[in-house]
Amino acid sequence: MNNAAPSPPMNSVNGAAATQQMVDFFDLKGVVHFGIAGNVNNSMSFGDVTIPQQFAHTGLWDWLNPNTTLDPSYVAHLDFKSYNVPKSWDGSNLLGRLGYNSEQFFSESGTPNTAQSLLWAQLLKSGMALEQCVNSSLCLKEKPKLVVGLRGSTANIFVDNAAYRDFLFQTFQVSSVDMESSAVVMVTL
């Protein structure tokens, strides 16, 4: 999952538009959204399937001057100087830092002015058996597993950077990264 070559992304705009068309034209009872996601959790293996219960929209950030004081409303921040090479460098970095903003989801069918929890993944059960082999000659090295209830990260960027994946895992405790889930969640709410 971490080393997969990028494929053309559906992106958030297309994900929102396609979901809105389904909502407009069909009497939906629920939405099962699946697609390409990268793994940022080292306990997961290639072929494992995760169904996150919560998402952090990690594409909502402000690019800050390196000398700016962080606003207390930021839920996390990333200092680029932490990734300077060599480490003996004076620590300055003209890229500055990112301040991550929070996002809340509201629904017209929910309580007015109150954010809703996203509990749709609770309907699926962990432990479903996944096939290890496609046929007699094409098998995964390990038996894949289904894990329900983890956290996912969603942003309109393709993440192919090990240091940034580690940052997302350590900071937000997410297990997967994708590009469309926030758009699908917003439309379905």
Give per-residue pLDDT as tens, 131-160.
888 888 899 888 888 888 788 888 877 788
> How many angstroms separate the most distant Cα atoms in the chain?
60
How far is residue 6's CA from residue 120's CA, in Å, rounded to a whole number? 28
Backbone φ and ψ for 8, nearest 5 degrees, come out as -60, 120
Q: What angle do CA 56, 111, 185 make, to 5 degrees?
A: 30
Least confident of 36-50, 69-83, 111-125: 111-125
Residue 21's pLDDT band (cuts 50, 70, 90): very high
Report whether pLDDT(45) > 80. yes
Rounded to 5, what percent of the chain is helix, strand, coil? 20, 20, 60
pLDDT, average across residues 66-83: 83
Instruction: Please answer whether residues 100 and 76 qualify as being in contact, where contact means their C-beta atoms are separated by less than 8 angstroms.
Output: yes
Instruction: Please answer whether residues 32 and 52 qualify as being in contact, where contact means their C-beta atoms are separated by less than 8 angstroms.
Output: no
Backbone φ and ψ for 94, nearest 5 degrees, come out as -70, -15
Instruction: Return the pLDDT at 127.
Output: 54
Please give the tally of structural domains in the chain: 1
Instruction: Return the pLDDT at 3.
Output: 43
Assigned domain for 73 exists = no
From the list 96, 93, 97, 60, the residue with the least C-alpha distance to 78 is: 97
Residue 119's pLDDT band (cuts 50, 70, 90): very low
Token reading at 96: 């500055």
Assigned domain for 1 exists = no
How far is residue 179's CA from residue 7's CA, in Å, rounded to a whole number? 12
pTM of the model: 0.70
Assigned domain for 99 exists = no
Assigned domain for 161 exists = no
Report whether pLDDT(33) > 80. no
SS3 76: strand
Assigned domain for 136 exists = yes
Percent of the chain, pLDDT > 90? Answer: 5
Q: Which domain holds residue 119?
A: 11-52+104-155+173-188
Report whether pLDDT(183) > 50. yes
Instruction: Return the pLDDT at 26.
Output: 93
Q: For the chain, give the mean pLDDT.
A: 76
Assigned domain for 67 exists = no
**Identity (one letter) of the amino acid at 164?**
Y
Q: Which residues contact 92 (CB under 8 A, 6 or more apart)?
A: 66, 81
Report whether pLDDT(189) > 50. yes
